[in-house]
Structure 1
Amino acid sequence: MKKGRYYRMEEKNHLQNDAGGAAEFEAGMIVKGIEISWTTWGRMRGERLITGPVSYLKAEGDSGFERIYSVDMKENQELEIPKMISLIKAGILPDSILITPMTRPSNLAEILANRGFVVNEQPPCILLYLDNFRENRYLINQYTISEVTKMAELKSWLDIINKNLFEGELVTTEQFGDVLRLDNTSFYLGFSEGRPVSTCMTISDGDTAILEMAATLKDYRCRGFASCLIRKALADLQEKGIRTVSLRAEEDGVGVYTRLGFKACFNRVIAFYNRKSI
């Protein structure tokens, strides 16, 4: 459990020792983005969203997202943590937990590792101040961008997501359609010579937003398509008065986001209980 101990101590100290409070603010904005994301997925059909000291999303059918995305136990930890673990092991709660510097208790990763969970550090959560963003409307030959508004376009968008992020149909077109119809979401689709090759979406709330589902088909990577598409999404957010944008980056995308002005704030941790190993 070396990673869990390191994460708990170092990240907590980093937030406490920041004289200007910037790190704590940024971590708070990222955690808010996580909440925006999961509560939005909770508006899909076939999803059950529960918020409280243990906030989670549970799929009620064969498709959908599942995760405990927030644990904030300020009282009765000695009773509530064993109860949560028992419900996870029984299959009543999702079998994975997202852990951030805002998670309470702060040693939850250690506790879970000692109770048979696999605990892994993930790529960083990152943040962009849009005041520092300057759109560069550079053009790529035969590359065009459109905002998804129709279900037929959404199917093409989801095909790319399924191939590159989910490795299968984790969420149906109809479920994502529920999100597409929300007023605070925007879906983007990039085309190379008329073929859909890249995707992303944004979800906004007040003056902050989260960037989600950025993906590019394998044969079309490293050509600037992802940067071009994300720049368009960020520029649209800037026009709406959004001030900060966060996302949970994948390892192979960190460089793209860094060049766009994002900064890494902390590495999230995922704790997973593998029932198949029982």
Structure 2
Amino acid sequence: MTGLSYVDSGLSCDTFNIIHVFSGNEFEKQELTDAVRHFRKRNLDFCIWVSRENLTPQVRACFEALELDIQGEEVGMVLDLDDYEPIDKLGHVNIQKVNTREHLIQYAEVIARNWNPADENVIRYYETTAALYLDTDTGIELFLYLHEGVPVAGVEMFPSNDEVAGLYGLATLEAYRGKGIGFALMTHALNTAKASGYKRMILQASEDGIGIYKKLGFRELTNYFEYS
């Protein structure tokens, strides 16, 4: 049995190289040791995500033995879409669904510019995975917000299963924050998810975003911890 999974993007970027400990009870020390060694041997940055329930004493001890330190914490939240009433915002007319390679590169550049300097690994990642993101059969949808024709924000919506969708990577360029753009993207994605038949929406929220998500009806489920 296995208690973790990991993804190697081939890039030295902890945004895309992720080890996920999803079962602390089925966790084996050697399994995590091998995953960590994989990235260290290749000299690639990586991170580990684990929920509060799965951060068992055994898992924590293994992290310490591998000299892994906690780097961040986010709140896992869920919204029951049956209880969500679609919200119409004027800003929705500025949202473009990403369905061409040109739009995808624009989306990637927006996400990359949320680091200073811009993280070129992010652009390379989306260039490499373009075929996957543009394949409508995956169910993944990327939304790009255009302010006076200029791409300034984006968010990803992806299926977890037939009933559950996830939101990831909501990001707005610093100069355009505080203008309701993120809220417009968020409500557009929720409206789309409900119209598509999903029953629940899940996400991980930073401390700054919890208030907005609660306003939309999200409730807290757990905490996630990032180690690297």
TM range (shorter): 0.7 to 0.9
Kindly tell me: are residues 153 and 57 of structure 1, through their superposed partners in 2, closer, same or farther at Cα, counting changes over 3 Å?
same
Counterpart residue number, 1:203: 158
Q: Give 3-state SS (helix, strand or coil) of 1:257's partner.
A: helix
Instruction: Please report the TM-score for the alignment, with normalisation by the length of structure 2.
Output: 0.82
Counterpart residue number, 2:113: 163
Candidates 90, 98, 111, aligned match of 1:148? 98
1:261 paired with 2:217, answer yes
Q: Which runs of 4+ in 1 moved over 6 A?
A: none
**2:115 and 2:200 mapped to 1: Cα distance?**
24
Equivalent residue runs for 1:213-228 within 5 Å = 213-228=169-184
Letter matched to residue 269 of structure 1: F
Counterpart residue number, 2:145: 190
1:243 paired with 2:199, answer yes
**1:267 and 1:149 mapped to 2: Cα distance?**
33
Q: Which has the higher helix share?
A: 1
Q: CA deviation at 1:237?
A: 0.7
Q: Give 3-state SS (helix, strand or coil) of 1:251's partner.
A: coil
Letter matched to residue 84 of structure 2: F
1:123 paired with 2:74, answer yes
With 203-212 and 165-174 compared, the bigger mean Cα shift is at 165-174
Letter matched to residue 201 of structure 2: V
Confirm or deny: 8 A CA contact 2:12 2:46 kept in the other structure: no
Q: CA deviation at 1:105?
A: 4.6
Letter matched to residue 80 of structure 2: Y
Counterpart residue number, 1:44: none
Mark the runs of 5 or more structure 1 residues left unpaired by the alignment. Answer: 1-50, 273-278
Q: CA deviation at 1:102?
A: 4.7
Instruction: Please report the TM-score for the alignment, with normalisation by the length of structure 1.
Output: 0.69
Percent of aligned pairs sharing the same letter? 22
Confirm or deny: 8 A CA contact 2:5 2:19 kept in the other structure: yes
Instruction: Return the index of the structure with the highest Cα Rg.
Output: 1
Counterpart residue number, 2:29: 81
Confirm or deny: 8 A CA contact 1:130 1:242 kept in the other structure: yes
Superposition RMSD on alpha carbons, in Å? 2.8
Q: CA deviation at 1:120?
A: 4.1
**2:103 and 2:223 mapped to 1: Cα distance?**
34
Counterpart residue number, 2:19: 68
Confirm or deny: 8 A CA contact 1:209 1:246 kept in the other structure: yes
